[in-house]
Amino acid sequence: MFGPENKQEWSVVKTGLRMLKHMFLTILVVSSAYILSMIASVPRSNFPDIYVAEARGHIYLRLVAQIGNTTFSPTNTTQIRLQETPPIALSNTSQYQPLLASTESTNKSVIEYRQQTTACSGISNIAFIKTHKTGSSTLRSIINRYGLARNTSFVYLKESKNGHIRYSRLSNSLRKKFLPPIGGTSNIGRRYNMSTVHIRFSREFFDTFMTPETKYITIIREPVEHWLSVISYFNFKRYAPEDVRKKSFEDIAAYLAINAETVQKKTRGSNINFFRNNQAFDLGLSHENCRDPSKVENYVKYLEGQFELVLINEYFDESLVLLRRAFCWSWSDVLYISRNVQSRTHSLKNETIRGLIRQNSMADQTLYDYFNKTLWRKISEYGPEFQSDLTYFRNLLEQVKDDCNVHVVKKLGKVFYQLNKDRSTLCRELLANDQINRIMHRQKSPPKKIAPGKTLVQLPIDRNEPIVSGPREPRAIRDARVACDNDPTCKKIDFSLQPDGRIKIITYRTRRNL
């Protein structure tokens, strides 16, 4: 039989193989270093697209460069360990930073990749003005998920199943009906971190209860498609004659658009706010001012100064890429599965009627045109890596759907997404239907009561400042403070003086963040 016939010969063969392996690795490392040094010597302007993407526990550096007349574009993405390399300047304006490469196997679900480490800290004080029929339920679920994971306090109405405030009169009496913030008994003061409910925008009113550093965002939709969704969802065909109601949806929409003034007078209750210029109304513009082009234009410009970002429904993924950067979130923070989608899609092909709808919704059209241009201006300012980030994000969404094994179920005129039972925590969170209940239960729970004679010591959340002990503080308490300050898992200490004079100390710890 061919091969070594004794152990000594096998040992020689193994030694030779190991030497070949080491030689191969040495050549690979030297050649990689040489290639990188060649790339580093090329001017930055020759790299139109260079970005860092995170996926499956690894960091990939993708380079596309035009070097002279030779195009450098690796057929396979090159994986580079970055532990010992200095930060790479991706562009003059980019906020991206290279991440540490992982040594874990790539044979992992995409939902298990490591979180991005950035120089900035994620924004968690957000007022999302939830507009109607604009894809806002999906965006709300994203923000709710982020806030639940970070123990933030939400603005929710006490006596509401879903917390919505809708078109209630904005006043101090309304604010008293809010659920108290976490661990509090009073809802007075600017202590709320997030708002994701339906409520009309009024910066003056929001400033009475939101934290001072709050960022404002909202989402809008193309006015014709928005109006068609509104009249279908809120059943506006009931305001049409009986013979019209029996016709197709396009005929019903044409009747409502042509007879908009008559239909508006017939509407009752909150429906009067939905029929025309509903998006502008949700954002604080009165119905009277919606008819004045100059007032509409001035108000839209005012809104631009109030909102960090206005997302566009038709460019939802593009908007989320911008949101992620503006709020310094990770890719996992902006993952989503659509919510509250109607199973029936209604179309209107008659351009004359579509033009009439735009005319009836003049304020909404002005609003949409302005912020649609603003969105694309922000995309241009984002830099050349935007398209690469967008492609990566969409691929990530598809991978998550595959990993979560999501399937579509149509029921009661809506589209629902379900997944198998044995799915990861992230998959369950993406489709969680109990977000609202968890938020309300958490803020309805009474705060922990401290018995007479006890003192609660709350440590700094950011843990950047050392604990300063008082000169007369008992040694046991001082030692507990110092020990807690030096322990990253220690959240707070609670102590009390017992009847026999001894001090009882309880240390609360949280799971260490890896």
185 CB burial (10 A radius; 0-12, 13-18, 19+) = exposed
**Of residues 119 and 17, more confidently modeled:** 17
The two structure tokens encoding residue 271:
């429906």
> What mean pLDDT comes out for the span 345-368?
94
CA atoms of 236 and 246, how far apart (whole Å): 13
What is the chain's mean pLDDT, rounded? 75
Mean pLDDT, to the nearest integer, of 348-352? 94
Q: Are strands 49-55 and 503-509 parallel, antiparallel or unpaired?
A: unpaired
Residue 86 has pLDDT above 50, yes or no: no
* pLDDT of res. 43: 45
**pLDDT tier, 425 (very low <50, low <70, confident <90, very high otherwise):** confident
φ and ψ at residue 51, rounded to 5 degrees: -155, 160
Q: Is the Cβ–Cβ distance between 110 and 399 less than 8 Å?
A: yes
Nearest to 310 by CA among 229, 384, 367, 388: 367
In a 3-state reduction of DSSP, which class is residue 300? helix
Which has the higher per-residue pLDDT, 132 or 117?
A: 132
> By the 8 A CB rule, do 475 and 447 touch?
no
| pLDDT (tens digit per residue) in 22-57 | 787 778 777 776 666 665 554 433 333 333 333 333
Cα separation of 90 and 100, whole Å? 16
The per-residue pLDDT for range 293-326, each reduced to its tens digit, is 999 999 999 999 999 999 999 999 999 999 999 9
Distance from CA of residue 280 to its chain's centroid?
Answer: 23
Structure tokens at 407: 């399937």
Q: What is the C-alpha to C-alpha distance for residues 497 and 514, in angstroms, rounded to an integer?
A: 36
Q: What is the pLDDT of residue 55?
A: 33
User: Which residue in the block uniquely carries the two structure tokens 């240390």?
Assistant: 507
| Mean pLDDT, residues 205-215 taken together | 93
| Two tokens, residue 382 | 């984002």
Query: pTM for this one?
Result: 0.66
CB 343 within 8 A of CB 415: yes
Q: Is 54 left (phi over 0), alpha (psi -120 to 50) or beta?
A: beta
More confident residue, 195 or 161: 195
Q: Is the dihedral of CA 74, 79, 81, 85 positive or negative?
A: positive
So what's the pLDDT on residue 88? 28
Structure tokens at 349: 């092909």
